[in-house]
Amino acid sequence: MEDAGGECVFVSEWDKYARLTYEHNFKNSNPNLFSKDTPGAETPFFVGDITKITERLKSGDDVIPDFEVLTGGFPCQPFSNAGLKKGMEEARGTLFFDILQILKTKIEKGKPVKAFFLENVRGLLNHQSGDEKTIEIIERNLVNLGYTFEKHLVWASDHGVPQHRPRVFLIGFWDKANAELFTVPESVQLELTMSDIMGGMVPQKIGRTLRVGGRGSGVSDRRNWDSYLVNGIEKRIGPSEGLRMQGFPSNFGFPATVSETQAMKQLGNSVAVPAIRAYSLAISKALGWSID
């Protein structure tokens, strides 16, 4: 989003190792978010548990600076009984409810967020919540707040990186005129193949989706996602290969305080940067942002 002309004003992340990685990479460019003394420490604009923030919002304490675009991801599993009711209450107990609460608070304050950009796994499209699909509950809640809503199934490999990684992008605008200006980014050719990533000949051009857990199962295991035959020899990807598969810039890295295990977990939880960048640029153009 910074590449699209934005400036981050508030972050929520409760994993302590991910917090260290955030600060390691973004403190120099955005020092106002972070503590000057203790790496990873909470600050007013770099918080941990978002539910504590939304509880304050519900009590009338708007602790989040005004902003134009909300970005984030959330798990779909907790929606087990969400289809039993209608409206905002049906999403209580999920992190999606906290996203709704932030949007609702800004609307009530007369400073509606102009757009949202949410990311989730492909399974969200078929996930059931009671008798209704979770995606339908999500759409209804956002539309009821006054937003437009559209969903896109996006493959990382369509945006230049050698990883399948199908993900659902949910995008909406407060002003329908902005929504009409939004254009879905076009696919681009692969910039790298798995042979480039692994530094040797790999049979497949596009790699498997990076995951969390289950590392080291080997190329003969159907669950394998991190091992490849390179020049006929089995090799596992590590953080440096994972960063390139996700399309991170060359100056992005992990601090020494983050282990390889934690780094791989973060990569499995991360997004494909070029795909996010392409859609961020499309959102910023629809909003009329000035991009240097």
Structural domains of the chain, ranges and CATH numbers in brackets: 11-182+190-287 (3.40.50.150)
Q: Is the pLDDT of residue 84 over 60?
A: no
**Separation CA 171–CA 115 (nearest Å):** 7
Please state, rounded to an integer, the average pLDDT across all residues of the chain. 91
Q: What is the pLDDT of residue 198?
A: 97
> pLDDT (tens digit, 9 = 90+) per residue, 16-59?
999 999 999 999 999 999 987 888 999 999 999 999 999 999 99
Write down the pTM of the prediction.
0.92
Burial 112-137 (b: 16+ CB within 10 A, else e): bbbbbbbbbeeebeebebeebbbbeb
Q: Is the pLDDT of residue 91 over 80?
A: no
Q: Which of 23-27, 94-98, 230-234, 285-289 is predicted with the least confidence, judged by mean pLDDT?
A: 94-98
Q: DSSP assignment of 117-167, as one string?
A: EEEEEGGGGT-EETTEEHHHHHHHHHHHHT---EEEEEEGGGBTSSB--EE
Q: What is the pLDDT of residue 79?
A: 56
Mean pLDDT calculated for residue range 240-257: 96
Phi and psi based region of residue 5 (left: phi greater than 0; alpha: psi -120 to 50; beta: remaining): left
Mean pLDDT calculated for residue range 154-159: 97
- Which pair of structure tokens corresponds to residue 68? 């134009």
In percent, the amount of the chain with pLDDT more than 70 equals 93
Higher pLDDT, 176 or 121: 176
Which among 168, 116, 161, 151 is positioned nearest to 273, based on CA atoms? 161
**Separation CA 113–CA 104 (nearest Å):** 9
Confirm if 259 and 233 have CB atoms less than 8 A apart. Answer: no
Question: What band does 93 get if pLDDT is binned at 50, 70 and 90?
Answer: low
Kind of pairing between the strands at 69-73 and 11-12: unpaired
Kind of pairing between the strands at 46-47 and 132-133: unpaired
CB atoms within 10 A of CB 154: 24
In percent, the amount of the chain with pLDDT more than 90 equals 76
Would you call 231 helix, strand, or coil by DSSP? coil
Q: What is the pLDDT of residue 75?
A: 74
Q: Which of 13-27, 64-78, 132-146, 192-206 is predicted with the least confidence, judged by mean pLDDT?
A: 64-78
Q: Is the pLDDT of residue 89 over 70?
A: no
Q: What is the pLDDT of residue 78?
A: 59
Q: What is the pLDDT of residue 265?
A: 95
Mean pLDDT calculated for residue range 173-188: 97
Q: What is the pLDDT of residue 137?
A: 87
Would you call 116 helix, strand, or coil by DSSP? strand
Q: What is the pLDDT of residue 10?
A: 96
Would you call 282 helix, strand, or coil by DSSP? helix
Q: Is the pLDDT of residue 127 over 70?
A: yes
Q: Is 203 exposed, middle or buried (0-12, 13-18, 19+ CB in 10 A)?
A: exposed
What contacts 203, CB < 8 A, 6 or more positions away? 229
Q: What is the pLDDT of residue 87?
A: 43
Confirm if 245 and 207 have CB atoms less than 8 A apart. Answer: yes
> pLDDT (tens digit, 9 = 90+) per residue, 185-204?
999 999 999 999 999 999 99
Q: Is the pLDDT of residue 9 over 80?
A: yes
Q: Which candidate in 18, 76, 138, 281 is catalytic?
A: 76
The β-bridge partners of 11 are: 46
Q: Is the pLDDT of residue 77 over 90?
A: no
Q: Is the pLDDT of residue 160 over 60?
A: yes
Interhelix angle 16-26/260-269, nearest 10 degrees: 80
The β-bridge partners of 151 are: 170
> Looking at residue 207, what DSSP letter applies?
B
Q: What is the pLDDT of residue 76?
A: 63
Active site residue 76: yes
For the chain, the helix, strand and coil percentages under 3-state DSSP, each to the nearest 5 = 35, 15, 50
